[in-house]
Amino acid sequence: MHWSDHHRHHSVGGCPPTDLTSADAFTLQYGRFARDQNAFEASLARLKTPVEVIWGARDIYIDSAMGEEFARRAGVPFRLLGGIGHYPQLQYPDLVAREIARAGP
């Protein structure tokens, strides 16, 4: 049985089965991410909340060009935060809170 069939038939409460390989788990997670990302991007035109994309300049996982592209596609401001990595909300919560407040009405 292919892992996707196994998942569909044997997962409990939306949790993947525990006998997946790490490659299978990554593929499953990435598939969900891509699906959710497509739905999110299709809904951007209906967005009513003020948005500013903030990105850690020292993010070692995702290049800031992705954040810039998203901001451009969404038509919202982009701000690169120097000296901050992948988790700005955890590394500098006060700065992120100020950014959120600044973007709001």
pLDDT 10s digits, 58-82: 999 889 998 998 888 888 889 999 9
For the chain, how many structural domains are there in total? Answer: 2
Give the pLDDT band (50/70/90) at residue 10: very low
Whether 38 shows a pLDDT value over 80: the answer reads: no
pLDDT at 32: 73
* Element holding 34 (H helix, E strand): helix 22-42
73 & 88 share domain = yes
What is the domain extent for residue 90? 49-103
pLDDT at 56: 93
Nearest to 82 by CA among 65, 98, 64: 64
Which 8-state DSSP code applies to residue 68?
H
The tally of CA atoms less than 13 A away on the side-chain side of residue 54 is: 20
Written as six digits, the tokens of 45 are: 């035109």
76 & 97 share domain = yes
67 & 36 share domain = no
59 & 98 share domain = yes
53 & 93 share domain = yes
Mean pLDDT of the region 37-63: 84
Strand residues in the chain grouped as ranges (E)? 53-56, 78-81
57 & 32 share domain = no
